[in-house]
């Protein structure tokens, strides 16, 4: 259930951004009298989706080839999680810097590429970026495809309602909340990658079992704070990336990363306010 909720939220976040990008392009073409180019938006969307599905399939294939049981699999999961965290961090930074001006950003990209090929390239790139995030998180987080699909479907329904002015929502608030969740999940990816890497090195006897690297910050796995099945720990795991028995290096890295990104987001927001 915890995996399903997390997957649904991530699917909703990325799906909403992708669908809103498409709707913004449609509205811009209609506003500028270039609505005859709409079909190229669909072509670009299709290319972006195919690229995302291809990436997801490639990651799934690699994961199946390596397997989930031996030390090499743990090492792979560690490397994959850390690499995914780096990619997702670039997406997060982009969203912090551009997310509040999504309409202007998309319209400027279309304005400077107002041609058949240009619209296809802009649309496919933007949709593929959101799809890549979904593929990466699905792979590294082992989220259920049904959960991701549910989130995407919900985002599609909301986007259609917004497009036809059937509902009014504060998109800035929605994006801010889901961005915060994305940052927490990226921090969890970092912690998970470090934990799996340490576990693989331990199994491979690279370091002694008594190495300081394996020292636990705390162990609350026997309490309600157990991150897998605890009454309190399970929700905290879903919402905050909580882990009930982290190594010191995992604990410090995960939360130092999260705090740094939040500080950056806060400072960038203040900088924009002072400029305006």
pLDDT tens for 106-144 read 778 788 778 888 889 888 988 888 888 788 777 776 677
> Looking at residues 163-181, what average pLDDT do you find?
78
Residue 123 falls inside a structural domain: yes
CA-to-CA distance for 230 and 102, rounded, in angstroms?
A: 39
Residue 79 falls inside a structural domain: yes
Q: What does each C-alpha distance from 211 to 183, 200, 201 come to in angstroms? A: 31, 14, 11
pLDDT tens for 13-25 read 788 888 888 888 8
Give the contacts of 183 (CB within 8 A, at least 6 positions apart). 92, 258, 261, 262, 265
Please name which of 43, 19, 41 lies closest in space to residue 30, comparing C-alpha atoms.
Answer: 41
* Structure tokens, 257: 């990363």
Residue 273 falls inside a structural domain: no
> Looking at residues 45-63, what average pLDDT do you find?
86
DSSP 17-51: HHHHHHHHHHHHHHHTT-GGGHHHHHHHHHHHHHH
Residue 28 falls inside a structural domain: yes
* pLDDT of residue 276 exceeding 60: no
Give the contacts of 154 (CB within 8 A, at least 6 positions apart). 8, 11, 12, 15
Please tell me the pTM assigned to this model: 0.76
CA dihedral 218, 222, 225, 228 (to 10 degrees): 110
Contact 119, 113 (CB under 8 A): yes
3-state percent helix, strand, coil for the chain, nearest multiple of 5: 80, 0, 20
Q: HSE-up of 174 (CA within 13 Å, CB side)?
A: 16
Residue 32 falls inside a structural domain: yes
The pLDDT score that the predictor gives to residue 191 is: 93
Give the contacts of 249 (CB within 8 A, at least 6 positions apart). 194, 198, 213
* Structure tokens, 122: 């802009």
> Looking at residues 58-74, what average pLDDT do you find?
71
CA-to-CA distance for 104 and 63, rounded, in angstroms?
A: 39
Please name which of 196, 234, 208 lies closest in space to residue 78, comparing C-alpha atoms.
Answer: 196
* Structure tokens, 252: 């410090």
pLDDT tens for 83-101 read 888 888 988 888 888 765 6
Residue 154 falls inside a structural domain: yes
Residue 269 falls inside a structural domain: no
CA-to-CA distance for 53 and 138, rounded, in angstroms?
A: 11
State which H helix or E strand residue 234 sits in: helix 233-240
In the chain the first and final C-alpha atoms are separated, in Å, by: 44
Residue 67 falls inside a structural domain: yes
Contact 138, 145 (CB under 8 A): yes
Q: How many domains does one find in the chain? A: 1
The residue segments making up the domain with residue 52 are 2-172
The pLDDT score that the predictor gives to residue 71 is: 65
């Amino acid at each position: 259930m915890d995996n399903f909720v997390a997957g649904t939220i991530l699917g909703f976040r990325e799906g909403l951004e992708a669908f809103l990008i498409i709707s913004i392009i449609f509205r811009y073409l209609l506003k500028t009298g270039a609505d005859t180019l709409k079909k190229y938006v669909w072509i670009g969307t299709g290319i972006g989706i195919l690229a995302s599905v291809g990436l997801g399939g490639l990651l799934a294939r690699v994961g199946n080839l390596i397997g989930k049981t031996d030390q090499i699999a743990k090492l792979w999961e560690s490397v994959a999680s850390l690499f995914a965290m780096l990619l997702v961090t670039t997406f997060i930074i982009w969203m912090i810097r551009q997310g509040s001006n999504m309409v202007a950003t998309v319209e400027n990209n279309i304005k400077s590429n107002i041609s058949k090929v240009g619209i296809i390239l802009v649309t496919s790139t933007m949709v593929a970026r959101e799809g890549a995030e979904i593929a990466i998180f699905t792979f590294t987080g082992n989220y259920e495809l049904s959960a991701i699909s549910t989130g995407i479907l919900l985002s599609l329904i909301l986007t259609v309602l917004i497009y036809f002015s059937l509902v009014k929502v504060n998109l800035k608030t929605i994006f801010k909340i889901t961005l915060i969740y994305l940052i927490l999940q990226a921090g969890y990816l970092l912690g998970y990658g470090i934990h799996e890497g340490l576990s693989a090195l331990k199994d491979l006897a690279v370091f002694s079992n008594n190495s300081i690297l394996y020292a636990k910050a705390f162990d609350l796995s026997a309490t309600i704070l157990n991150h897998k099945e605890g009454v309190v720990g399970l929700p905290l795991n879903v919402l905050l990336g909580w882990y009930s028995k982290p190594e010191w290096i995992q604990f410090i890295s995960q939360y130092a990363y999260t705090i740094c990104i939040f500080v950056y987001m806060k400072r960038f927001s203040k900088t924009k306010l002072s400029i305006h």
